[in-house]
Structure 1
Amino acid sequence: MPGIPSFHAFAAMLLTVGMFIAFARGRIATEIVSLVTIALIALGLFFFPLDPARPTDGLMLAFAGFGHPALITICALMIMGRGLVVTGALEPATRFLDRVWKIDNRLGMLVSLVMAMGLSMMVNDTPVLVLLLPIFVALAERGAMAASKTLIPLNAAVLIGGMATTIGTSTNLLVVSIAEDLGMEHIRVFDFTPTVAIAALVALPYLWLVMPRLLPDHGTANLRQRRSFAATLRVDDDSDLIGLTPRELEEKMPDGFRFEGPLDRQITANSRLPVSGSHKALEEAMRVFKARVAPAWVVERISAAANSQQTDVVVVEMALTAESRLVGLTIPSSGVAGQFGVAVLGIHQQQKSPDRGRHEYTEVQLKAGDVLLVMGPMAEIEEFAETDRLLLLEGVSEVPRRSKSLLAAVIMVGSVATASLGLWPIAIAALGGAILMFMTGCVKFDRVGRALSANVIVLVAASIAVGRLILESGAAEWLGALMASGLQFLPPAAVLAAIMIFVTILTNFASNAAAATVGTPIAFNIANTLGIPAEPMVLAVLFGCNLCYATPIAYQTNMLIMEEGNYRFSDYLRTGVPLVLLMATTLSLLLVVFYM
């Protein structure tokens, strides 16, 4: 039986519990709790330094997270993910999954979960999630299940797949290497894959059918999808649509898009067809039909201005106020294209005209409260809004730079592949990929702020500091000794479950590396003491390091989805704790069956 923990170990455990309670209650912003935690560690170790450390060493421990490779990796991966989005590189994969989701939401979810598990078996968890994250956000904007209902299950599927091979995560490799240093035989890449595969089959129904029901709908995309804009589809003289009728194109129409007016009129060269649809639907229709919703000369002028300013072209929704000079005018008579260099793609009328569809939207007289869909460089759009008294609404989106989509995809695949092959660490591969994204223009320097999340950055830094404090204060060692004193009275399955749960707690409140570093030697020593085979005990540690579903600070992928899903700490607890218990029970029983 271990003695009383040291002052520093007790303080570390108390601080960790306090941070957890603050996160779980949700009354204080996550970033504030994180900053306060870092400050308490810095002040506490300055006035009460760890033996034999100097007071300034505590400051280094508290703030080391801001320069930690894990944080650099997350930021670099966020930037590369941004590059995939703004260049449209993920559109083919999005369209494939979109077709599956259109058949049935449940089928789409099932296919997505299985795909995530399969990819993460051979590729590190973080790059896999970075590849899939923008796809699911785009699917949510297209009308599929809200991102807040899909991202936590998707992340869990990635983590389950990652525990199936020794190369699935860097933590797996760490556990295996520590065990080999302690004298255990080498564990091959697929030695424990069947065990995890069976556990994954048990967990899949929960991920697929139960977990989305436990998550709230935090998305705002659905609200924007309801706003329909009247627009004009412009057909060029070499278009494939010539000779067809709108009725013949109905099967190809995106969801939320429709032709207005007669559907049996024949399309001719340079036809201007009245249409309506959401922003996303209009964008998809332009791609499918290879047509435009703005005059060619305006689009060329906008592209030239964006290139000269080294900025992105964006599409925004703008509402007319009662003081706007545009009230009572039509789009052509307002002269906004020539004066401001922006294009009005469509109009959402608060009170729809009874003869809608008989005339082009450009002939509609504008009224206060109407919403315009406007494209152009952000500086010109802001000047337009200020001069003509319009309100910028939510729903700003960048026009994809499709000419660089292949380049962005090559950079991402190259970074993932080189890291997976072990040519260099994931931090170096991600950092190199982010730099290439900047150098090639896939991501603009002035748009980096959209890729990074201050909330995630501070949370990562705080979790790294807490993990180091738990390890260096002796708190983890004391907890391990306390647990080991009572395991001798338990059956093998219970011993394995206890080790797994202990490591899982360390993982969810500290870090994977800390849990692997502390848990592997403890498990190896307990196996020798109790006469239990070492391999299942070490695998219990490896599995426990991957059962990091219950808190956002447990693993970097948990934090990557936090901003996109608009999740709270309680969302992870509500969905993650049942999954941890289900996986720990199943894996413990399977380890007994296969190894004892």
Structure 2
Amino acid sequence: MVGFGIENGHMWMTFAVICAAVVLFAIDRIPLELSAGLTVLALLLLFYFFPLPAEAGKTEVNVTTLLAGFANPVVFTILSLLIVGQALFQTGAIEKSTEIVTSLVKIAPAAALGVTLLVAATLSAFLNNTPVVVIFIPILSALAARLGQTAAHVLMPLSFITILGGMTTLIGSSANLIATAVAEKAGAAPIGFFDFAVPGVFLASVGALYVLFVIPRIIKPSPAFSQASGERGKQFIAQIQLGETHPWKGMRSTAGMFPNLKLMTVRLVQRRGRAILPPFEDLELQEGDVVMIAATRRVLMNAIARDRALIGDLAPSVNAPETDDTLQTPPERERLIMTEVVIAPGSQRIGFTVNPERFKADTGCTLLGIERHSRMMRAPMNKIRLVAGDVLLLLGTPGAVRSLRNHRDLLLLARSRAELPVPHRAKSAIAIFLIMVLAAATGIVPIAIAAMAGAIAMILAGALTLPQAARAFDRKIFLLIGTAFAMAVSLEATGGAQFLAHGVVETFADWGPAALLSALFLLTAILTNFLSNHATGALFAPIVVSAANEIGVDPAPFIYGLIFALNCSFATPIAYQTNLIVMGPGHYRFRDFMFAGIPLILIIWVAYSLFAPFYFGMQWRP
């Protein structure tokens, strides 16, 4: 066994760097990007000034191998999938899917989320987890928004539950296949497709209870995401003028409301100078009516995206010349931006009523709605006098929105800019997405190729623009992947992983098969959150087979335990590809995975430690 001598200094220094990195990631006192950069730099300096002699069968540690993770196919796969997901959001392609899910489950709102997650878990038992997660991210995000929740409450459970589903069959995870293949080479009997389905389903069921009922209650969105979610939940008062061909013309009220106007509240209908207040008894909307509604920004955005005739002549002209956008492609020129501005203190607009036509002439943007913190207004816009602090919801071309910075009376709110969805390109986006998933799931091409082809096809089809695609990139994910690979290379090359594994075997071999199985399970589960589960599986498979043979027991329970432990990739975002995929859309921090994932690892560990002796007839003592 490796000792504590100076000849093993590389290993101990690597342990120190990895421990320091985990602490930096967990405390979140400095930006995660900086912590990742410092970790990689520390490893580069360590092996540059103190080179590790190359040994047969081990990877040489140098600048090239330490930085190779940044060029790994996983990087391009995940970033491409983020672009594809952004295209689905941008086109509103998943709205119909969300409506189907909500219509199928009407018993309780939470049931829709639970059923959707269980479907994802079932699929992941037979398909690669990555396309399953990619399919369900937009559906669950939209479903959560409809149920008044944030994406943070559903996306981590989505990743975790697909990982749990993947531990139930031989093909549920590529790590399962690698571990069993290496175990067979070490002399173990072949593992069948459903050989470990019973303990796998048991563990997945136990873990699913925690994922479905505990994680959504303990995960809190990051402060920035909470603020953004609160802003999206604001109710704006919008004025809709009905023209001759307006889509609302002829709409009739039922039971005092307008049921066709989903998620909108009609607060006033002005007809020929007369105000009609709710409840509206058998009222049919007519040409010339002015309808005052209350709705959130997202509802207004989706409604206008589906039919720009909703705002009639006030709709911005997408063909207006853009002085600094001469190189725009047609899809870029047709896009519209929704943003928010605040009436500044001392603004010349304070005390004046709102005139949408004049406002558009002054700013080039359409005034969609007004939000006032003090009260919900019930009056036509031409009777609302602006006060300092009023929030105006605007729609305009990219150039018009940029020009708002020159208006001293209006303060452009940070992070309020969002492109209007382009639903007429939704069919193209769905087709590209399905082809990408089919190609990856059937193995026609590697998932890295399928994802990159899908991302490029989305841009070429106009589902999103190049600037939108660039904003879909997440530098945190990019740096985390590269850092994870650098740590894994260092840990393997210095013998750190082997040192820990053999230490556990020597310590617990005399304690009996059940105790040794439990100890190996826990160590594997810990290491798989920092090494790749492929590398961990290849490393531990011969060790668990040898350990079982040494104490004279069947290696099968040890191999099954190895498979389940390899799938306990819950404690860090770098542990599994799907964790990285949901990290951006869910706005999770590194410590969020530790906070929610470590208890799940302990639950699975305890569950198998108790289940295995009973199911396989193992003893705790020799």
Shift of 1:329: 4.7
CA contact (8 A) 2:44 2:62 kept: yes
- SS at 2:52's partner residue? coil
Shift of 1:585: 2.3
User: Any stretches of 5+ residues in structure 1 without a counterpart?
Assistant: none
CA contact (8 A) 1:120 1:159 kept: yes
**How does 1:209-248 map onto structure 2 within 5 Å?**
209-218=213-222, 219-235=226-242, 237=245, 239=247, 242=250, 244-245=252-253, 247=255
Asked if 1:364 corresponds to 2:384, the answer is yes
CA contact (8 A) 2:318 2:336 kept: no
Compared CA separation, residues 124 and 173, structure 1 to 2 (3 A) = same
CA contact (8 A) 2:84 2:455 kept: yes
CA contact (8 A) 1:87 1:402 kept: yes
1:174 match: 178
1:25 match: 27
1:197 match: 201
2:311 match: 294
CA contact (8 A) 1:140 1:221 kept: no
User: Any stretches of 5+ residues in structure 2 without a counterpart?
Assistant: 269-275, 323-327, 618-622
Task: Report the identity percentage.
Answer: 28
Compared CA separation, residues 213 and 298, structure 1 to 2 (3 A) = closer
2:271 match: none
Please, which of 286, 295, 308 is the counterpart of residue 268 of structure 1? Answer: 286
1:42 match: 44
Shift of 1:325: 4.8
Q: Name the stretch that deviates more: 168-177 or 515-524.
A: 168-177
Q: C-alpha distance in 2, partners of 1:385/1:140?
A: 34
Compared CA separation, residues 241 and 123, structure 1 to 2 (3 A) = farther
> Structure 2: which amino acid aligns with 1:368?
A
CA contact (8 A) 1:39 1:62 kept: no
Q: What is the count of residue pairs matched by the alignment?
A: 592
Q: Name the stretch that deviates more: 168-177 or 504-513.
A: 168-177
2:360 match: 337
TM-score (norm 2): 0.86
Compared CA separation, residues 294 and 48, structure 1 to 2 (3 A) = same
Asked if 1:486 corresponds to 2:507, the answer is yes
Q: Name the stretch that deviates more: 37-46 or 390-399.
A: 390-399
1:550 match: 571
What is the root-mean-square deviation of aligned Cα atoms in Å? 3.1
Please, which of 141, 145, 149 is the counterpart of residue 145 of structure 1? Answer: 149
2:69 match: 65
**How does 1:485-524 map onto structure 2 within 5 Å?**
485-524=506-545
> Structure 2: which amino acid aligns with 1:376?
G
1:576 match: 597
TM-score (norm 1): 0.90
Q: Name the stretch that deviates more: 241-250 or 447-456.
A: 241-250
2:344 match: 321
- SS at 1:422's partner residue? coil
Asked if 1:75 corresponds to 2:83, the answer is no
- SS at 2:99's partner residue? helix
Q: C-alpha distance in 2, partners of 1:225/1:100?
A: 27
CA contact (8 A) 1:196 1:587 kept: no
Q: C-alpha distance in 2, partners of 1:345/1:550?
A: 44
Shift of 1:37: 0.7
Shift of 1:323: 4.9
1:114 match: 118
- SS at 2:315's partner residue? helix
> Structure 2: which amino acid aligns with 1:343?
T
CA contact (8 A) 2:141 2:154 kept: no
Q: C-alpha distance in 2, partners of 1:187/1:414?
A: 32
- SS at 1:547's partner residue? coil
2:620 match: none
> Structure 2: which amino acid aligns with 1:346?
G
Please, which of 233, 241, 265 is the counterpart of residue 257 of structure 1? Answer: 265
Shift of 1:402: 1.1
Asked if 1:376 corresponds to 2:392, the answer is no
Shift of 1:116: 2.5
> Structure 1: which amino acid aligns with 2:605?
A
Asked if 1:310 corresponds to 2:338, the answer is no
Compared CA separation, residues 498 and 466, structure 1 to 2 (3 A) = same
Shift of 1:320: 1.8
Shift of 1:466: 0.3
CA contact (8 A) 2:533 2:567 kept: yes
Asked if 1:277 corresponds to 2:311, the answer is no
Compared CA separation, residues 511 and 224, structure 1 to 2 (3 A) = same
- SS at 1:110's partner residue? helix
Q: Name the stretch that deviates more: 125-134 or 507-516.
A: 125-134
2:412 match: 392
